[in-house]
C-alpha cells in the first residue's frame, strides 16, 4: 500500500517538475493594455563550411492577440543572399502527430540588415512576425514539432526541428521540438 501511494505521488508531481518557467523580455500591463514578449529561444542552428545560421523564436501577445516572432541570423565570409518576408510569406510547422500548422506573416516586407564585423564576416539579421490561424495554438500545445518550413519572398527553406540542441554559439541546451508545448502558456 505504501508503495502504491508513493508511486501515485511521484506520478502526480511529475508535471509540476517538468513545466517550463515563463521568461519575458517584456511583460507590461498598463492603461493602454497588456503586452507580453517571451525571451528569444533557439529552434534551429546550422554550422557548416564557414557559414552559420540560427533561428530564434519568441512569442508575443498584444492585448490578447498572439503571434510568433522569428529572427533568422546568418553569418558567413561568403556572399549572403537576402531571405525576405512579405505578405505572402508563411511558416509551416509539421507536428509529430502528422498535422501541419500554418502561420501567416503580417503584411510587412522585411529583407533584414547586413552588418560586416571586424573579422570580415557578413551578418544578416532578418525578422518577421507570424499570426496564428484559428486552432493553431491548440494543435501546437498538443504535439511536438518535427519540421519547420519558411516560405520567403523568393524561396522556401526547410529546417529540421531537433529534440535537443546544445548550441555551438553559447553552449546552452535547448529543446525546440517542444517549444510551443512548453511556452505557449506564457502568452495565454
Condensed to tens digits (0 to 9), the pLDDT of residues 7-41 reads: 444 444 444 445 689 999 999 998 889 999 999 99
Q: How many helices (H) and strands (E) does the chain have?
A: 3, 13
Residue 63 CA to residue 82 CA, distance in Å, equals 32
Residue 76 CA to residue 155 CA, distance in Å, equals 19
What lies within 8 Å, CB to CB, of 30 at 6+ separation is: none
Instruction: Tell whether the torsion through CA atoms of 126, 101, 185 and 180 is positive or negative.
Output: negative
Residue 155 CA to residue 145 CA, distance in Å, equals 22
**Tens of pLDDT along 67-94?**
999 999 999 988 888 889 999 999 999 9
Count of CB atoms within 10 A of residue 8's CB?
10
Kindly tell me if the per-residue pLDDT of 169 is higher than 60: yes
Residue of 130, 126, 98 lying closest to 114 (CA atoms): 126
pTM equals 0.86
Compute the mean pLDDT over every residue in the chain, rounded to the nearest whole number: 89
Kindly tell me if the per-residue pLDDT of 135 is higher than 90: yes
Note the pLDDT of residue 77.
Answer: 87
Amino acid at each position: 500500500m505504501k508503495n502504491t501511494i508513493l508511486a501515485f505521488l511521484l506520478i502526480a508531481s511529475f508535471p509540476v517538475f517538468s513545466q517550463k518557467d515563463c521568461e519575458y523580455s517584456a511583460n507590461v500591463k498598463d492603461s493602454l493594455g497588456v503586452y507580453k514578449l517571451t525571451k528569444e529561444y533557439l529552434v534551429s542552428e546550422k554550422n557548416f563550411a564557414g557559414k552559420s545560421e540560427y533561428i530564434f523564436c519568441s512569442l508575443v501577445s498584444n492585448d490578447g492577440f498572439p503571434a510568433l516572432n522569428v529572427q533568422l541570423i546568418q553569418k558567413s565570409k561568403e556572399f549572403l543572399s537576402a531571405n525576405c518576408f512579405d505578405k505572402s510569406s508563411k511558416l509551416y510547422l509539421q507536428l509529430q502527430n502528422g498535422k501541419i500548422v500554418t502561420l501567416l506573416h503580417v503584411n510587412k516586407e522585411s529583407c533584414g540588415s547586413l552588418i560586416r564585423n571586424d573579422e570580415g564576416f557578413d551578418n544578416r539579421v532578418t525578422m518577421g512576425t507570424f499570426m496564428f490561424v484559428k486552432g493553431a495554438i491548440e494543435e501546437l500545445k498538443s504535439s511536438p514539432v518535427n519540421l519547420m518550413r519558411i516560405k520567403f519572398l523568393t524561396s522556401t527553406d526547410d529546417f529540421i526541428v531537433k529534440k535537443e540542441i546544445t548550441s555551438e554559439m553559447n553552449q546552452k541546451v535547448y529543446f525546440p521540438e517542444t517549444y510551443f508545448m512548453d511556452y505557449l502558456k506564457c502568452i495565454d
